[in-house]
A and B are shown apart, each in its own frame.
Chain A
């Protein structure tokens, strides 16, 4: 109940924040920059309900600056009222993370969110650059990036594990399907703390509904952490028109000391994993 209340509050306040963001930045030339090619209404405002744009190759173009429409997915990737089919060790670790209020999230140490939750931090947008052979995702949070190769290559057979893994993408009709594997352990699938192992394989399905909205569904397959594959909630992203990403480097992390004090009170996990 407490989580639901927090979530509703966050969602409401974030909505206000984004209304403000679009209304109060006319004088800020970096924050308010007319983006060429943006469809506009008669009064010159971005037409966010215009049709999905398409690239030169005829495929939908996902390019743009996006943000999640709520922090709920960041809190918990699963649809409301559902639970991930965690193996016992994963369930124990997850419970520990929930019980200790997520004090030791990777972000506490200025490590970034992972896949897909780096896209779900509603207050920190991400930018998609769709170019021939590659789609690049730039995350404002901590100034990170992710590459999704669309040049026909296959996933690496024996990859050196990586925080964001290795991603290849292809089009199935209007849907951009991204397969990612080769993950390093360490990232959490969401802030609740759903864990994963190096065996994680994600399939993301992006669909740009119109100019201003994009949806994503994620298939999570990690046989070493979950008894069967499971699906995320449908994540909704909204376009931030006529603006730009801002720098977000972890230059002044004052929180760590306070959280360290909390960690000394928290019971250690018995799984051997932080």
Chain B
């Protein structure tokens, strides 16, 4: 339980890594002023460098389904924070808060991820200090 808690606390720091790694410009790809919050089922997890991406199927207000993709840090950063590649599984239902891509596609930089079945905050980023 303590390990689980430590992981949950530690992953709070990982939301930043998509910005901190400096692989690419956060500000040029994502828009701080365009937060998005969606709930859906995990369909794919790309545990890859330079960034992990995961995808979820989301039921839109009009009833249609759409697929969203979210960027996180790289595997090294998540591993060092206590994640494993199966911390988030295909089929998990998650609520994601993110900053949307500037190009208007269904892509975003994940800030918080909450596992709906338990309410656990799998992946959380503080809004503290954000411009």
Contacts of B14 in A (CB 8 A): 17
Instruction: Name which of B9, B14, B28 has the most chain A CB atoms within 10 A of its CB.
Output: B28
Count residues on chain A whose CB falls below 8 Å from chain B CBs. Answer: 54
Beta-carbon contact of B73 and A123 below 8 Å: yes
> Within 8 Å of chain B (Cβ to Cβ): is A255?
yes
Interface segment among A5-13, A149-157, A161-169, A195-203: the answer is A5-13
Beta-carbon contact of A252 and B53 below 8 Å: yes
19 A-B pairs in the complex with CB atoms less than 8 angstroms apart: A5-B130, A8-B129, A13-B13, A13-B126, A16-B10, A17-B14, A20-B6, A20-B9, A24-B81, A31-B79, A102-B28, A105-B25, A123-B21, A252-B50, A252-B51, A255-B24, A258-B102, A259-B28, A262-B103
Contacts of B71 in A (CB 8 A): 254-255
Chain A residue at smallest Cβ distance from B82: A24
Contacts of A23 in B (CB 8 A): 6, 10
Beta-carbon contact of A13 and B16 below 8 Å: yes
Contacts of B34 in A (CB 8 A): none
Beta-carbon contact of B28 and A101 below 8 Å: yes
Chain A residue at smallest Cβ distance from B107: A258
Residues of B within 8 A of A (CB): 3, 6-7, 9-10, 12-17, 19-25, 27-29, 46, 48-51, 53, 69, 71, 73-77, 79-82, 101-103, 105, 107, 125-126, 128-131
Contacts of B23 in A (CB 8 A): 107-108, 141, 250, 255
Beta-carbon contact of B7 and A6 below 8 Å: no
Contact check: which of A71, A101, A105, A249 meets B49 at CB < 8 Å?
A249
Contacts of B77 in A (CB 8 A): 17, 123
Beta-carbon contact of B129 and A9 below 8 Å: yes
Beta-carbon contact of B80 and A5 below 8 Å: no
> Within 8 Å of chain B (Cβ to Cβ): is A180?
no
In the bound assembly, the distance between CA atoms of A254 and B128 in angstroms comes to 27
